[in-house]
Amino acid sequence: MRGLEEEFIPSTPGKFKDKTYYSSNRQFHRCFASTSTMFLWALFLLALTASYLSFQSFMDSGTRYLSSTGSLHWEKQVRDSAQIHRVNGMSVLVTGAAGFVGSHVSIALKKRGDGVVGIDNFNNYYDPSLKKARKNLLNLQNVYLIEGDINDVRMLTKLFDIVAFTHVMHLAAQAGVRYAMENPKSYVHSNIAGLVTLLEACKNANPQPAIVWASSSSVYGLNEKVPFSESDRTDQPASLYAATKKAGEEITHTYNHIYGLSITGLRFFTVYGPWGRPDMAYFSFTRNILQGKPITVYRGKNRVDLARDFTYIDDIVKGCVGSLDTAGKSTGSGGKKRAPAMFRIFNLGNTSPVTVPMMVAMLEKHLKVKAKKHVLDMPGNGDVPFTHANISLAHKELGYKPTTNLQTGLGKFVRWYLSYYGYSQEKSIK
Ligand SMILES: O=C(O)[C@H]1O[C@H](OP(=O)(O)OP(=O)(O)OC[C@H]2O[C@@H](n3ccc(=O)[nH]c3=O)[C@H](O)[C@@H]2O)[C@H](O)[C@@H](O)[C@H]1O
C-alpha cells in the first residue's frame, strides 16, 4: 500500500526522488543539499504557476462576466441602445444589423431618435471585415450590436425579457440566388429555422412586437406577367433562395393567423449602393473592372439580355422605415391571439428595369475603365431573366416613392467603393 506522503507527491518528480534514494545512501547525503534546494525551487515555481493560473482564470471569468450575453454589463448596453429619444418613438430589434440593408436601416432609425438593438452572426458568406466596418459605423451612432445567431433561443428570450421591443426589423438571412446550389443548408438554417426561432420569441414576448421582414423579388420566380404585382402567382420559385423566402411568407402568415403577430413582408428588388454586398453583380463587376480582370455577363434565352429592377439603398431604407411607422400592433399575449392582426406584403422596387449590359456600361462610365466582358448563356443556376416591380400598393400604403435612378445610384456606389478600398481617383481612372 502506498503511504499518504507518496499519494501527494506528483508522479514524475516522485519517481525520480525514489530512485535516487534507493540507489545509494552516500550519494543521497552528498546530493541532499542540492536536491532539497531543487525541491524548494520546484515548490516555489509550482506555487508561482498556480497563483498565475488562478489569477488568469479570475481575470477571464471577470471579463466574461462583464461582456458575455446575459451579464449585467451586456444588459445595460442593450437597455441603453434600446432607449427611445423622441416622442412616439419605437424600440426596434434589427436582425442582420451588420448586413447591407440592416446597417443602413439601423442608422436611419437611431438618427431620428428610435431605440435600436442589432444582432448579427457575422458569418463568412462574404468578407466579414466589411461587416466589422459596418459595425464600427453603428458604434459611432451608439447602436449596440450583439454578435449572435437568430437560432439562439436563450439569447432571444433574454433580449425580450429585458427590452419591450415595439418592433422587429428582421433582415438576417442567407442571401444570394446562385450560392444556394453550393450551400443549400445555410438557407434552411437562416431563412427557415432562424425565422421560426425568431417568430417563436416574438410570439412569446409580452408585449408582442410588430414584425417587418425582408422577403424577396425572387418569389415571383418564373412569373411572366409584368410588372410584378403582389397579387401575382408566387408558386414557381426558380431557386432554393426564392423557395425559402416564399416559405417565409407562408410561415409568417401562420404566426399572424394563430398568434396575432403583426406582419409586414417586403419584397426587395436587387438592392444596391454604398456599403453593399460584395457577392452581388454590380459590386463584383466593379472590383474586377478596377483590377483589370474579366467579368461574366449572363444572357437569357434567344440572346435576350437579363434585366433587373435595381433599387437604391436609400429608397429601400425609406420603404423599411415607412413599413415600421405604419405597422399595426400585434394583438396576442401569453402566446394567444386576442384579435386579428395586420398582415401585409409590399414590393419595394424601382419600377424601371435596366439590362445587365446597360448596368455594366454605367459602371464603365463612372470608373472610366472599359470592362473585359465574357458573355455567357445563363446557366440553370436559379437566376430569373428579369424583374420589374409594380409599387403602387407600397406607394399608397407607405408613401413609398423611389427617387434614385441606377445611373445616379451607381455613381454614389462607385465613389464609396473607391474611397473605402483606398483608390485615389487618379489610380483608378486611367
Ligand atoms: O431581388 C432580390 O430578391 C435578389 O436580388 C439579388 O439577386 P440578383 O437580382 O440575382 O442580383 P445579382 O446577383 O447582383 O445579379 C444581378 C444580375 O446580374 C447577373 N449576373 C450576376 C453575376 C455574374 O457574374 N454575372 C451576371 O450577369 C445575374 O444573372 C442577374 O441578372 C440579391 O443577390 C438576392 O439576395 C435577392 O435579394
Q: Whose CA is nearest to atom 5 of ligand 1?
A: 270
Question: Ligand 1 centroid to 270 CA: how many Å?
Answer: 7
pLDDT of residue 260: 98
pLDDT of residue 21: 33
Q: Quick check: CB of 218 below 6 Å from ligand 1?
A: yes
Question: Ligand 1 centroid to 54 CA: how many Å?
Answer: 54
Instruction: Give SS3 for 320.
Output: helix
What the block records as the C-alpha cell of 399 is 408613401
What the block records as the C-alpha cell of 418 is 473607391
Q: Quick check: CB of 170 below 6 Å from ligand 1?
A: no
Sign of CA dihedral 297, 298, 304, 308: negative
Q: Quick check: CB of 371 below 6 Å from ligand 1?
A: no
Please report, rounded to a whole number, the percentage of residues in the chain having pLDDT higher than 70: 83
The secondary structure of residue 71, as a DSSP letter, is: S
Which listed residue (126, 144, 179, 241) is catalytic?
A: 241
Of the candidates 342, 339, 373, the one whose C-alpha atom is nearest the C-alpha of residue 356 is 373
How far apart are alpha carbons 43 and 48 in whole angstroms? 9
Q: Quick check: CB of 275 below 6 Å from ligand 1?
A: no
Q: Quick check: CB of 97 below 6 Å from ligand 1?
A: no
Distance of CA 337 to the CA centre of its chain: 30
The model's pTM is 0.86
Judging by beta carbons within 10 Å of its beta carbon (0-12, 13-18, 19+), is residue 310 exposed, middle or buried?
A: buried
Told to judge if 220 belongs to the known catalytic residues of this protein, a careful annotator would answer: no
Q: Whose CA is nearest to atom 13 of ligand 1?
A: 280
Q: What does the pLDDT look like over 366-415, one tens digit per residue?
A: 999 999 999 999 988 899 999 999 999 999 999 999 999 999 999 999 99
C-alpha separations of 207 from 5, 144, 157, 254 in Å: 64, 22, 13, 19
What the block records as the C-alpha cell of 16 is 525520480
Question: Ligand 1 centroid to 178 CA: how many Å?
Answer: 8
Q: Quick check: CB of 269 below 6 Å from ligand 1?
A: yes
CB 410 within 8 A of CB 282: yes
Question: Ligand 1 centroid to 377 CA: how many Å?
Answer: 15
Q: Which helix (H) or strand (E) holds 297?
A: strand 294-299
The secondary structure of residue 308, as a DSSP letter, is: E
Q: Quick check: CB of 382 below 6 Å from ligand 1?
A: no
**Ligand 1 binding pocket mutation candidate from 215, 240, 287, 298 (most atoms within 8 A of CB):** 298
Of the candidates 218, 211, 120, the one whose C-alpha atom is nearest the C-alpha of residue 170 is 211
CB 313 within 8 A of CB 104: yes
**Nearest atom, ligand 1, residue 218 CA:** 3
Q: Quick check: CB of 307 below 6 Å from ligand 1?
A: no
Q: Whose CA is nearest to atom 16 of ligand 1?
A: 281
Bridge partners of 93, per DSSP, are 117, 168
How far apart are alpha carbons 66 and 72 in whole angstroms? 7
CB 326 within 8 A of CB 398: yes
What the block records as the C-alpha cell of 153 is 433561443
Residues of the chain with pLDDT under 50: 1-33, 55, 57-66, 428-430
**Quick check: ipTM above 0.95?**
yes
Question: Ligand 1 centroid to 14 CA: how many Å?
Answer: 69
pLDDT of residue 4: 33
Question: Ligand 1 centroid to 384 CA: how many Å?
Answer: 9
How far apart are alpha carbons 345 and 213 in whole angstroms? 10
pLDDT of residue 335: 85
Instruction: Give SS3 for 69.
Output: coil
Q: Which helix (H) or strand (E) holds 321?
A: helix 313-326
Q: Whose CA is nearest to atom 8 of ligand 1?
A: 270
